Every structure is written in structure tokens, then in C-alpha cells.
């Protein structure tokens, strides 16, 4: 998909990752609790029956508090399983005890759902998709981590005409004026940060 063809993205990524690396575990934990509260106020998540999400790792904006809150509401939460070609399969979240730690080659360990694999197409059932990211700009363009996994997810949704709400959880300083974009990049609908929600499309 040529997701690394633009050197500008690599430079941006390094900068945002460097700032995240200085956050303490306490910073991350406090932000996660606030992010969950803010995200649950979003109508896109409040009305969703199925949400495709992900388990945050390291200093990423924390998602576990939000996953648990959605699960407690009876929302079906789908979590990704990284495949060898960087595509994503999906499994249902059944609470904190349903996650297993998986090492993917030279990459970081990921927490993935332990249960049945539902297939890459399962994401098409989602009313909302939480996308990982490093930044979002004033137009709603997202800077991803560079692995290309979510480019494939978004392309799969587009091919079947699915139009779930696309939501990114970030720290306040990661909402910026402009990020580099390529032809296949698509804007998200909303970004949630500890200080509030910024919407790029009405629900």
C-alpha cells in the first residue's frame, strides 16, 4: 500500500513516539480513565451494538477502561489478532481474563483475544471502529503507526460500502494542524483526548 513511501510520515512518527516514551505509567493510567469517560459520551459509541477496538500497549492512550465499560454495557467488542502478513483477524472481547499476550517476531508483545477467530471480514459488522494513531490533524486525517494493518481494514470497509464511525483516542498534544497524507488515507469522524472530543463529521 506504499504506506512508508513518504519520508515526512517517518519523521512525524519519531517525534510523537519520542514524546509518548517520556510518559510515566501513572500519566498513562490517569489519561486512560479520562479517555474512557469522554469516549462513552460520544453518540457514535453510545448507540453502537458492535465496536471494533484494540488493546493499547505501552504508552499508547489507554483503551482497556473503555473496552471494559463497553463490554459492561452489553456492547459486542471486537479486538484484532495480527496475522503474519500484517492484516487483522478479529475475536470477541469477554473481559480482562480473555486476553493473551502474543509475541509477533521482532515486534512488541500484543494483548489479543484468546477465543474464536472470526475472520478479517468480521470488522464489517462494526457500528464504530476505534483506530490506533499517533496524531490527527484539523481535517481529521490520521497518522498511523506505519504497519499498514488499518489501511487494509479501512480498504476492506470501503470495498463493501460499510460506513462505521471512525474514532481515534489520542493525548491532547497529538491533535495538530496538519499531518502528511497519501492518496489512500481517509479522514476519521472524531478524535477523543483527555480534554474533550473533536468531531469532523456529525453523528
CATH of the domain at 158: 3.40.50.10420
Q: Binning pLDDT at 50, 70 and 90, where does residue 148 land?
A: confident
* Chain centre to alpha carbon of residue 103: 19
Supply the pLDDT for residue 5: 46
Domain assignment of residue 80, yes or no = yes
H helix or E strand, kind and range, residue 102 = strand 99-103
Domain assignment of residue 145, yes or no = yes
Domain assignment of residue 120, yes or no = yes
Supply the pLDDT for residue 107: 65
The pLDDT of 138-153, averaged and rounded, is 89
Domain assignment of residue 127, yes or no = yes
Q: Binning pLDDT at 50, 70 and 90, where does residue 1 land?
A: very low
**Residue % of the chain over a pLDDT of 70:** 95
Domain assignment of residue 190, yes or no = yes
The predicted-structure confidence for 54-91, as pLDDT tens digits, reads as follows: 999 889 999 999 999 999 999 999 999 999 888 999 99
| 8 A C-beta contact, residue 66 and residue 53 | yes
pTM score over 0.75: yes
* Rounded distance between C-alpha atoms, residue 179 and residue 142, angstroms: 7
Handedness of CA 90, 127, 46, 177 (dihedral sign): positive
**Residue % of the chain over a pLDDT of 90:** 67
* Full domain range(s) for residue 74: 7-199
* Rounded distance between C-alpha atoms, residue 39 and residue 56, angstroms: 15
Q: Number of structural domains, the chain?
A: 1
**pLDDT > 60? residue 102:** yes
| 8 A C-beta contact, residue 144 and residue 129 | no
Q: Binning pLDDT at 50, 70 and 90, where does residue 201 land?
A: confident
* Rounded distance between C-alpha atoms, residue 153 and residue 84, angstroms: 15
Q: Cell 465496536, residue?
A: 51
Supply the pLDDT for residue 89: 97
Domain assignment of residue 2, yes or no = no
Supply the pLDDT for residue 91: 97
Domain assignment of residue 191, yes or no = yes
Domain assignment of residue 1, yes or no = no
The neighbouring-strand residues paired with 77 are 51
* Rounded distance between C-alpha atoms, residue 31 and residue 144, angstroms: 20
Supply the pLDDT for residue 198: 93
Average confidence score pLDDT of the chain: 89
**pLDDT > 90? residue 170:** yes
The pLDDT of 20-27, averaged and rounded, is 91
Extract the C-alpha cell encoding 140: 481529521
Q: Binning pLDDT at 50, 70 and 90, where does residue 135 land?
A: very high
Amino acid at each position: 500500500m506504499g504506506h512508508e513511501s513518504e519520508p515526512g510520515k517517518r519523521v512525524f512518527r519519531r517525534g510523537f513516539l519520542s514524546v509518548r516514551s517520556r510518559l510515566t505509567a501513572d500519566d498513562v493510567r490517569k489519561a486512560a480513565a479520562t479517555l474512557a469517560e469522554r469516549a462513552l459520551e460520544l453518540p457514535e459509541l453510545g448507540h453502537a451494538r458492535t465496536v471494533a477496538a484494540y488493546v493499547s500497549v505501552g504508552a499508547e492512550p489507554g483503551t482497556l477502561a473503555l473496552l471494559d465499560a463497553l463490554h459492561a454495557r452489553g456492547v459486542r467488542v471486537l479486538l484484532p489478532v495480527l496475522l503474519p502478513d500484517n492484516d487483522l483477524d478479529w475475536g470477541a472481547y469477554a473481559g480482562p481474563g480473555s486476553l493473551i499476550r502474543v509475541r509477533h517476531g521482532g515486534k512488541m508483545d500484543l494483548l489479543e483475544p484468546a477465543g474464536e477467530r472470526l475472520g478479517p471480514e468480521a470488522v464489517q459488522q462494526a457500528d464504530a471502529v476505534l483506530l490506533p494513531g499517533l496524531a490527527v490533524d484539523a481535517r481529521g486525517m490520521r497518522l498511523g503507526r506505519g504497519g499498514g494493518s488499518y489501511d487494509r481494514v479501512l480498504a476492506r470497509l470501503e470495498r463493501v460500502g460499510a460506513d462505521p464511525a471512525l474514532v481515534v483516542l489520542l493525548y491532547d498534544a497529538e491533535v495538530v494542524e496538519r499531518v502528511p497524507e497519501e492518496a489512500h488515507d481517509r479522514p476519521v469522524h472524531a478524535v477523543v483526548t483527555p480534554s474533550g472530543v473533536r468531531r469532523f463529521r456529525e453523528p
